[in-house]
Amino acid sequence: MRSLIGKKAPAINAPAVVNGHEIVQNFSLDQYEGDKYVVLFFYPMDFTFVCPTELHAFQEKLGEFEARDVQVVGCSVDSEHSHFAWLNQPKNRGGIEGVKYPIIADATKTIAENYGVLGGEYMEDEDGELTFEGAPVAYRGLFLIDKAGIVRHITINDMPLGRNVDEVLRVVDALQHFEANGEVCPANWTKGKDAMQATGEGVSDYLSKH
Sort residue 148 into left (φ over 0), alpha (ψ -120 to 50) or beta. Answer: alpha
Nearest to 51 by CA among 164, 168, 162, 165: 162
> How far is 184 from 194, CA to CA, in rounded Å?
10
185 is catalytic: no
| Three-state SS at 3 | coil
Nearest to 114 by CA among 86, 85, 143: 143
Cα–chain center distance at 208: 36
Q: Are 140 and 41 in contact (CB under 8 A)?
A: yes
| Three-state SS at 137 | strand
> How far is 113 from 37, CA to CA, in rounded Å?
22
Distances (CA, A) of 188 to 37, 74, 106, 205: 22, 26, 34, 18
Point out the catalytic residue in the list 4, 51, 55, 112.
Answer: 51
What are the residue numbers of the active site? Answer: 51
